[in-house]
Amino acid sequence: MNYSYFQVSEQSLEVEFPEQINVEENELIQDIARQLIDQKAIGVTGIIPAYHTLTVNYDFDLTSYQDLVDQIDEIILNANQDKKTGRSIIELPVCYNLEYGPDLQDVANYGKVSVEELIKLHTGTDYFIYMMGFLPGFAYMGSVPKQIAMPRLKVPRKVIAAGSVGVAGAQTGMYPVDSPGGWRLLGRTPIKLYDPSNPVLKYHSGDYVRFKAVDETEFKKIQVEDQKGDYQLKIIQEGGENNG
């Protein structure tokens, strides 16, 4: 396994794997993170798994860079490479229009397709959640079909509305709360993705998300149901033996 370490600050390090969006590689990163937590590794204060990196923050009164490097080497050496699990696909309704997705036309132009074809391409793929991050409830997912994988904006927007759905290169995702950000926006989901009074997330790394196009009328209807707590997200269980 090809990887390296980088000390980011006095009390944080990063494990770096080859820079790629790759399900197996990411599953190993999730596995290291889980094991550091399960083992209650001494002095580890916070962990951030990402596509090809794992950031580990620690307390240098309790552990050291070298101690952690040794522990992580050990975990990687013993990692179980042949796991097979079923997939959970969460179906998320999205209304694609220029009001909710101001970059819809730009991304269609970038891909040299019509807006209808763009929507078809974006909803036609199941996206793997590689990591949670950026904001509470924000899932980094891939991979967007190459044709419509437009890079992020040069200057980030100061405010993006909660529920907005966008692409940034091969990545796609939803903004769970109002936030600044540089992703190209295609539409919006009526589902409340983050509730501070009940911060339980609806999806986790390792799950899949499938977008389903809905029109404005349906968007409003789902929004009302969701606010009342009556809307059930559709979750599809698919294939694979769970050796978990």
Least Å distance, CB 28 to other proteins, is: 15
Q: How far is the CB of 240 from other proteins (least distance, A)?
A: 25
**Residue 196 binding other proteins, by CB under 8 A:** yes
Query: Least separation, in Å, of the C-beta of 90 and other proteins?
Result: 16
97 lies in the site for other proteins, by CB under 8 A? no
CA angle centred on 158, ends 157 and 164, rounded to 5°: 65
Site for other proteins in 150-189 (CB under 8 A): 151-156, 168-169, 171, 177, 179, 182
At residue 104, the 3 state secondary structure works out as helix
CA 65, distance to chain mean position in Å, is 28
Alpha helices in the chain (DSSP H): 23-38, 65-77, 104-111, 115-123, 216-228
Of 70-78, 118-126, 132-140, 232-240, the window that binds other proteins (rule: CB under 8 A) is 132-140
| CA 205 – CA 221 distance, rounded (Å) | 29
Residue 132, interface with other proteins (CB under 8 A)? yes
Q: Which of 2, 9, 78, 81 binds other proteins (CB under 8 A)?
A: 9
Question: Which residues neighbour 200 within 8 Å (Cβ) at sequence distance 6 or greater?
Answer: none
Least distance CB 50 / other proteins (angstroms): 5
Q: Which residues, 56 to 95, sit near other proteins by CB under 8 A? A: 57, 60
- Nearest-5° angle of CA 22, CA 24, CA 30? 100
DSSP 168-237: ETTEEEE-SSSEEE-PEEEEE-SS----TTS---S--TT-EEEEEE--HHHHHHHHHHHHHT-PPPEEEE
Q: Which stretch binds other proteins (CB under 8 A): 2-10, 70-78, 91-99, 213-221?
A: 2-10
8, two tokens: 């980011």
Decide if residue 146 touches other proteins (CB under 8 A).
Answer: no
> Residue 16 interacts with other proteins (CB under 8 A)?
yes
Residue 127: what residue type? Y
Which spans of this chain sit near other proteins (rule: CB under 8 A)? 6-12, 14, 16, 19, 21, 33, 37, 45-55, 57, 60, 131-138, 140, 151-156, 168-169, 171, 177, 179, 182, 194, 196, 199, 201
